[in-house]
Amino acid sequence: MSKTFKRRLAAAERELKPKEKSFRIIRVIGGLPGPVRYAGFGGLNWQRAINEPLDSFEGRVIAEAKTAGLSSVVIGGLPGPGANPEGFDFEEFEARWMEIDEQNN
């Protein structure tokens, strides 16, 4: 490897290196009936309030996750362990996925 290439590679790596501590947001969208209602990570769980706009929910979750010292958060998907899934019917959810599975087999 030439000195010029090594120098250019090092410069590119410096540019790509995060300037501050990064925070990862994983969004799980689709697959579940209804709007995104839950978020969680690191043993913490959040539930979206009725009529709370999605962007407000995401902002609240991200701010609270950062305050708690988390480096990531999952927004969407199933409620996490310990969550209080008000209005979430696991039996209905399971029945719906069994129906989808039967349709696809």
Alpha-carbon span 57 to 63, nearest angstrom: 10
**38 - beta bridge partners?**
47
Q: What mean pLDDT, rounded, does the chain reach?
A: 81
Q: Which long-range contacts (CB under 8 A, 24 or more apart) does 61-70 make?
A: 62/23, 62/25, 65/23, 65/41, 66/23, 68/42, 68/44, 70/41, 70/42, 70/44
pTM exceeds 0.85, yes or no = no
**Does the pLDDT of residue 87 top 60, yes or no?**
no
DSSP string, 3-19: HHHHHHHHHHHHHHS-S
Summarised one tens digit per residue, pLDDT across range 54-70 is: 999 999 999 999 999 99
**Does the pLDDT of residue 45 top 80, yes or no?**
yes
